[in-house]
Structure 1
Amino acid sequence: MRATHYAILKLNYRLPTNLSIDFPFGWRGTLIIEFGLRNFFSFKEGAVLSFRFDGNTPENISRGQPYATVMGINGANAAGKTQLLKGLNFVNFFAARSFAWKPNALLPLEPFGNGKDASEFYIEFIAGDLIYRYEFEVTEHEVVREALFRTKSKKTLLFERKKNTVVKSVKELEAISSLTLRSNVSLIATVNQYQLPLLEDVFDVLNQIQTNVAYSGLHDPLMDINATAKLLNEAPYALAFVENFIRNCDTGVSKIVIKHREGGNNEKIFFPVFLHQIDNEDYAVSALGESSGTKRLFQTLPDYALALMTGGVLVVDELDIHLHPHILPNLLALFTDPAMNPRHAQLIFTSHNVKIMDALGKYRSCVVAKKDNESFVFRLDEVPGDMLRNDRSIANVYDDGKIGGVPRL
């Protein structure tokens, strides 16, 4: 997540410290309906990640909503789980950040088998009361095609670009035809760079995808503990959110205090002190003496806070690093409990913890598997028959190898 996003936390927005949220202004969140890609890393023929619920989804899962706010992805090592998340990161980069790319620099993607065919992506999402579908085809050298559709009463093509030419556009976007397009930059990022308000809602939505995955894989954590302490020192509501969550996880921490010392060039270096109560007295523990799990929560929970605040999308590879399995349901509840997630923020994550499938159910769990070095993904409610039922453990069926996605040792 980038500094411009973190700056939002420094404003005094009230966060869900005790199952209540007060949002004093009108951020409109992001809600992904479906995401797909083809010819990208280990995915040759394509992958679709759908958040749609159907009529068979139990009420305790859907909570009356048509789309999932959490999607868990399991699978064996090297199956392609991280590659799938890289696809979401690439959509975010291309749509919102590619204008910062150097002219004529190669786009950061890798087609299946190092082939020369274009990689294809699409993402359907809700912005306000409108549904959009954004799709594009790119090679590492150029944009082959880019298009945006909008649906209200009917589906409308807003623009279509081929190479560096806008070949179609609706009247409200006719100004984009005069823009100079670069071969490695999206039209959406270009419009934003020129500060044209034409596609502002679309840009904002795609820019709100936070992830700890980059082209090279997992980048976790994105902020070191001192940078996190500095951020939370300037964001008291976020600090209260982090402290409350850690305290409720039975870590022994009763309070977190942010302190600082003087560094070079008169720069303040911030750091956390974790207070533990022993015989009704506070015992201070530095980050060096604190557990790995507590430190991980301290460094990553601001990402969760920001997603909940803005109604954004948080994409987390290896959700369970350093965390006890019993803590994971608490993280999921931030997004599945409507009281804590009134803006319908979404969490998309990978994990090797199979029990988490039972917590999510088959409508919010996907498996990535690989055959002949080609990855594919399926949601568990797509498994035919009654092998997976709402009243049975999914983890046991998965561990038995009956639905794939487990290592063959």
Structure 2
Amino acid sequence: MITLPFLGRLSLSEWPVVVISLLFAYIESVISIITELIPAPVLGFITSLLKYLHTNAFRLVFPKDETEPTDAELNQRQLVKASNIHDICKVYGFEVEDHIVETKDKYLLTIHRIPPKKKDSPVVYLHHGLLMCSDIWFLMNRRDQNLPFILHDLGYDVWLGNNRGNKYSAKHLVLKPSETKFWDFSIDEFAFYDIPDSINYALKTSGAETLTYIGFSQGSAQAFASLSINAELNNKINLFLALAPAITPVGLHHRFVDALIKSSPNIMYLIFGKKTLLPTASFWASIIYPPLFVKVIDVSIKMLFNWKSKNIDQSQRISSFKHLYSPTSVKCIVHWFQIIRNGSFQLFDENVSVTNSLTKVFQPATFPTKTNIKVPVKLIYGDIDSLVNIDKYSSLLPAELTEAVAIPAHEHLDIIWGRDVDKLIFPHVLKFLAEHRPDSKSST
């Protein structure tokens, strides 16, 4: 009889989680197939009808206020309706450019640029986190709480990156997203290709010699990994600002789920397959009543990470959570679970069943961050963020180049969407930028 070794290691307490997860994945797959079979005009009509019902339901629950809505309230309504980064930025009177980056392994990434006020402006590049895209940087209900706009006002040339496979980068010169091979990537590919190729493009297009890198969560991890394996990249980044940096999270809050992924990271393949994670999530985000969708996200992140989002107002969660999800590969999630399991910021382990045997035949290679990173690093994190293991950073980063700032009583998402980002986060960001602002002379 054929058995699956990693299933044999599950305890009785873990099996209910497996069964529920498999059932959820099955239902999600069926829904995905059904939505693909529905003709586009019919699906569009259903979506429009549901959005209309949402609007009217909202008016019934919250009777119309006779007072004039605030700018933040007006912005929130438009942000919820926005379907892409161009719609989002138009809310604040900005336009962004689309630029296509061809990676060395032939993925086509769409990265965005806010055209600078003048030529030879210093360049800032921002990169999103896991299951996100460049939208995340523009979702605050107030203009002065969106970091890219502040940087643009200060005279920076602002660029925003996107990972392969996400909302804006689902293209390859040979492969199609319907093929499993398209989704065969992890943090390794982000580090070897997406980050350096995007940075090289931004520098070449702007004519600058160096840029400042700002990463959120996995966007920081990708840069740490890329800098550690690419000596040349260290000469192209003058400052690295890591917001809520995730390198070696200790685990998940839900003890059954945590035990499950630590015992067998590859179980994600069994549950979700080997392509993209939750392909219909964006569809559901567009049709579920916004306050209800926020409740679903609140419950999910509370269960997984023990985040309570007390620093993010309900109206802000409606704006931000609507655009929270963007596709990535299941393999990327498996990579994170390997890192969590081993407590090591390592490259993807292609043969986890062998390397985790008692004999330890192979040892997964770790990213040499402490010895190879030569760039000033500034960490800004919430002191109650369950994903940031700050005590571990001393062994992972060069002490002489690293400075950390803890934001009291803040969690992970609070660092970009908290109600006081302009008072608690931006001053640190702008201080570090001012200290390291490079000569803006063109290299051309």
Shorter-chain TM-score bucket reads under 0.3
More contact order relative to length (CA 8 Å, sep ≥ 6): 1
Point out the structure with the larger helix share: 2
Task: Provide TM-score, normalisation by structure 2.
Answer: 0.22
